[in-house]
Amino acid sequence: MRTWHKQVGVVAVVALTASVLAASASAPLRSGAATSAPDKIVYAQQTGKNGTYLQYVPGDGSKPTTQAVTGGGGCATPSSSNPVLAFTARYYSGGYGGPSTSAIVGAFNQRTGVCQIPQTWSIEVNEALVFGVGTNALTNGRLFSRVELQLARQDKSTASDAAVQVRLIERAGAVTVGTVNLSIGGPTGNTVTAATPAGGPGFDSLEIQVVGPATGSISVVGPTSTFTLGSKICVGETITASSTDGSVNASATYTGNTVNPAACKSYTDFSAANGATKDVNFGTAATTGARMTMHVDWGTTAFCTPQTCPPTMVDFNDGNGEQAQTFCATASPPATPAWCTTGQRFSYETDPVTHLTVTRVVEDWSGFGDPHLARR
C-alpha cells in the first residue's frame, strides 16, 4: 500500500493522483467497491470421495474451478497442476529472528503443517507454513485481501496448559505489511478461526509461525480455509474514488505492463476521504512493469499561490517516509522515484460560506510504482 499526501496551507489533505484527467463518460469505470462479490480460493481438507482439493470461486457467480491436490501423507508437500494456491514451508534453526531454509510441507488426515520437526503434519516452534498466490492464470499476480484459516492445537495439551502463541505474517513480496497475533488454548484439538483484518493492505503470502511455548504445536485443519482475493484492474480500465462529501475526487487508469502486456493489476482498496486530512488510498503492491496514470482533484483549501502552496508528499512504504513530489514528462516517468507529477493546476474560487478566496489544486501523475499520496 502506498500513500500520497499533499500539504496545503494549515489544512491536512491526503490524496492519490495520476496522469489521467477526470474519466470521460465513455471510459470503463470500476469503483473501489466491487459490483460483485470478491473472488476466493478455498483450500478444502476433507475425508471421503472429495478428499483434499483447491477451488477458485469467481465472485461473479460463474462456475468454480476445482483442482485436485495430491499428497503422500506425512512429509509430502501438497501438489496440484498449475495451482491457484501455493504451499511452501520454512525452518528457522536459530529462531524466527534469523535466516531460514526451505522445508517440506506435511499434509495428513485433514491436517497441514511442516515436516522439519516431528510431528510431520503440524507447525512447531521455529517452523513456518506459508500460503501464497498460485501460478495459475486465474490468480498469478493478484493479492489476498483477507485470509481465514482453521487452526487446531496439536501438542497433546490439556485445558489447563498455557495457550499456544501464533503469529500470522502478511507479506507483499519481501515486505511485511501486516501481523496478527493470536492464542489457542488447550486441550489438544481445540480449533479456532484465525483471520487477517478486513480492509488492510493487500498481500501475496501469509506465513504462520508458532512463537511459544517451546512445546507448542498447531495444524491448519479442515474442512476449509478461505483466501479472499483483491480486485483487479486490466489494461485500459479506470477506477474512481470520491470522499463522502465529494470534495476529493480521484481516478486511476492502468495503461499497460511492459513485462507482461496481458497482465492485470491487483489491488485491495482505492478510496477517498475528507476528515482532518484529505485522503485517497491505493491498497496495492508493486507490480513490475505495470504503469498507471492518475488524476486527483483535491478540492479547495485556504488561499495559496503556486509559489506558496506546499507540495504533495509521496510515501512509497520503503522505510524512507514521505518525500516531496517530483515532476516529469507524461510519456517518460522515471524508474526512481516510481511516481512523478506530470501536471499541476491551480484555480481560485469564492467559498460560498466564508466568501473568502480559496485555492483548488488539481494534479496528474504517472508511474510504475504504487504510492500513497498525501496533501496536508
pLDDT value for 75:
77
Give which of 145, 143, 144, 163 is closest to 153, Cα–Cα.
163
Tens digit of each residue's pLDDT, the chain (376 residues): 445 554 433 222 223 332 222 222 223 333 333 357 899 999 998 876 667 899 999 999 999 999 988 865 667 788 888 999 999 999 999 999 999 999 999 888 889 999 999 988 999 999 999 999 999 989 988 999 999 999 999 998 999 999 999 999 999 888 888 999 999 998 999 999 999 998 777 899 999 999 999 999 999 998 999 999 999 888 999 999 999 999 999 999 998 888 888 788 888 888 888 888 788 888 877 777 888 898 999 999 999 999 999 888 877 766 677 888 889 887 676 666 678 899 999 999 999 999 999 999 999 988 876 666 777 6
CA distance 84 to 140: 8
CA distance 324 to 313: 5
Q: Are strands 101-103 and 175-184 parallel, antiparallel or unpaired?
A: unpaired
Contact yes or no for 179/241 (Cβ under 8 A): no
Ramachandran angles phi, psi of 249, nearest 5°: -135, 135
Query: Where exactly does CATH 2.60.120 map onto the chain?
Result: 40-229
Give which of 87, 47, 5, 21 is closest to 282, Cα–Cα.
5
pLDDT value for 72:
55
pLDDT value for 19:
27
Per-residue DSSP letter, 64: P
Residue 95 DSSP SS3: coil
pLDDT value for 78:
80
Alpha helices in the chain (DSSP H): none
CA dihedral angle for residue 104, residue 109, residue 110, residue 116, rounded to 10 degrees: -20
Q: Give the global pTM.
A: 0.79
Q: What is the CATH number of domain 40-229?
A: 2.60.120
pLDDT value for 29:
34
Task: Specify which residues 53 forms β-bridges with.
Answer: 44, 68
